[in-house]
Amino acid sequence: MLLRHAKTERAAPGERDRDRKLMKRGRADAPVIGAYMAHHGFLPDLALVSPAKRAQETWALVAAAFAKAPRMITDERVYNASPEALIGAIGEAHKAHTLAVVGHNPGLHELALRLIAAGDEDMREELKDKLPTSGLVVIDLAVDDWARVHPHAGRLERFVSPRLIATATE
């Protein structure tokens, strides 16, 4: 599972990018994704989370929806990472059957597009446009070891965002 952090405030003058916090909409959206994940059984064994404040806040709000919070590792390699760096971090997640990566665009979006070779055509087209804040991409990978993750190894199972969830329930 690839999860982009929730909507964030702009950096204040002199503020470091990694210190940006979630704005009100982001604090509302993240629990929606958490509830969706819990309801549909998308429960990771492990979450690799960027050290950026916005990613940490997002994961805390998402994980609160689970009966038991998954194990979480703050991984510096996830912060504004390239798809290659993300694949490297994923490849070392040896003790997890189901993995979530909580991070940033453009790396997460590029990684999703790179990994997916199959799945619902409409969802794939929608994902090509963008991975919005609080966007969740669930990919089924035909590998038995995270170290074997490679381009075009996955099938897109779900692509959702709070806006898509709201549209579906209207």
- β-strand pairing of 71-74 with 99-103: unpaired
Q: What is the DSSP string of the chain?
A: -EEEPPPBPPPPTT--GGG--B-HHHHHHHHHHHHHHHHTT---SEEEE-SSHHHHHHHHHHHTTSSSPPEEEE-GGGTT--HHHHHHHHTT-TT-SSEEEEE-TTHHHHHHHHHEEEE-HHHHHHHHH---TT-EEEEEE--SSGGG--TT-EEEEEEE-HHHHHHHH-
**CATH number, domain containing residue 25:** 3.40.50.1240
Domain housing 112 = 2-169
User: What is the tens place of the pLDDT at every residue in 124-147?
Assistant: 999 999 999 999 999 999 888 899
Q: Tell me the pLDDT band of 170, cut-offs 50, 70 and 90.
A: low
Phi, psi (deg, nearest 5) at residue 139: -120, 130
Q: Tell me the pLDDT band of 11, cut-offs 50, 70 and 90.
A: confident
User: What is the tens place of the pLDDT at every residue in 27-61?
Assistant: 999 999 999 999 999 999 999 999 999 999 999 99
Total number of domains constituting the chain: 1
pTM: 0.96
